[in-house]
Structure 1
Amino acid sequence: MKGDKKVIERLNEALFLELGAVNQYWVHYRLLEDWGYTKLAKKERAESIEEMHHADRLVARIIFLEGHPNLQTLAPLRIGQNVREVLEADLAGEYDARTAYKKSRDICHDAGDYVSMKLFEELLADEEGHIDFLETQLDLLEKIGEAKYGQLNADSANEAE
């Protein structure tokens, strides 16, 4: 089915963001794991995999609309140097995605592509869940400090893999 050019462009922009998020969350997962934040690391790993599923859905939709998915470029990575920076970097990426997906949803609506619009609404709901989690973590980190936050996010020695 031939899709609207603007819709395909927006789907590719979303793919650009999701591919960056996959890699950013994965690097953060490995860093947090190395720093001993094993529980938060597991969450970052799960987020990376979820973003990969988002990218897959976008690729499938682009192909269905007879477009060409661009997997050659991805959003620049924001890599944190400590736990606070990791959370802030991830939150910035989620804010970018939320802004883009709201605009994309409206473009799809105007083009009469309600399936792509629904896809953007579903992605938007996921990103807002990520935003809520990250804002909560940053608020908690601020309230209790990095040392206590680290204790909450570390497995005990006998639980570590």
Structure 2
Amino acid sequence: MAEFLTDVHALRDRARSEMMDGPVTAAYGADLPRVIEMLNTALATEIVCTLRYRQHHYMAKGLNSEPVAQEFLEHSNEEQGHADLLAARIAQLGGTPDMDPARVVGRSHAEYVPAADLKQMIQENLVAERIAVATYTEMITWLGDGDPTTKRVLETILAAEEEHADDMLGFLEN
């Protein structure tokens, strides 16, 4: 039977004395304030993407617009789900999810562009998804093994953003 790497009695004592730190223990290996800042930036980006997709959903017009408009709505809902995941993780780490509209646009990596026509809407959303893919990939690499839970959250979101980019590209290629 393998031995524990940590003295169990010391581990229990530390857990009791630091219980108000919640899930952040001495084993946490990332820069916590920077992780919370990074997650708030990602949160801002997801909020902007939610709103852009939603606006595009309502403004999509033309003969072939219905399937694209429905995809915009689906993506808007998924982006809101990403925002919820990020906000929950920020709170779990002891931070405050910053959803102040006055600061969201300034922190977002993506832009809010109310495009003039369906093709431009698809292009703007593809650009935003490519930004998200690059950003989440960079965040995951930076985190490394320092915060495996946050890394898993970001990997889940990254997979969806890659799918969104593929969806938008598919509309442009048709």
Q: TM-score, normalised by structure 1?
A: 0.80
Q: Are positions 1:115 and 2:115 aligned together?
A: no
CA distance in 1: counterparts of 2:128 and 2:114, whole angstroms: 11
Higher relative contact order (CA 8 A, sep 6+): 1
Verify the 8 A CA contact 1:24 1:79 in the aligned structure 2.
yes
2:78 corresponds to: 50
Report the residue type matching 1:40 in the other structure. V
Structure 2 unaligned regions, length at least 5: 1-21, 25-30
1:60 corresponds to: 88
Verify the 8 A CA contact 1:7 1:104 in the aligned structure 2.
no
Matches within 5 A, 1:9-158: 9-32=37-60, 34-35=61-62, 37-72=65-100, 73-74=104-105, 75=108, 76-109=111-144, 112-140=146-174
Range moving further from structure 2, 47-56 or 1-10: 1-10
Percent identity between the two aligned chains = 28
Verify the 8 A CA contact 2:68 2:171 in the aligned structure 1.
no
Report the residue type matching 2:170 in the other structure. T
Report the residue type matching 1:48 in the other structure. S
SS in 1 for 2:144: helix
Verify the 8 A CA contact 1:6 1:107 in the aligned structure 2.
no
1:150 corresponds to: none
Aligned residues: 138
Q: Which has the higher helix share?
A: 1
CA distance in 2: counterparts of 1:139 and 1:31, whole angstroms: 21
TM superposition shift of 1:130: 0.5
* Cα displacement string for residues 79-103 of structure 1 (whole angstroms, at most 9, x for unaligned residues): 2111110000001110111111011
SS in 2 for 1:120: helix
Report the residue type matching 1:7 in the other structure. V
Q: Are positions 1:4 and 2:36 aligned together?
A: no
* Cα displacement string for residues 11-66 of structure 1 (whole angstroms, at most 9, x for unaligned residues): 1111011000000000000001x545122111111110111011001000000000
Which contiguous aligned blocks of 4+ residues in structure 1 show a shift greater than 3 angstroms? none
CA distance in 2: counterparts of 1:58 and 1:121, whole angstroms: 12
Report the residue type matching 2:91 in the other structure. I
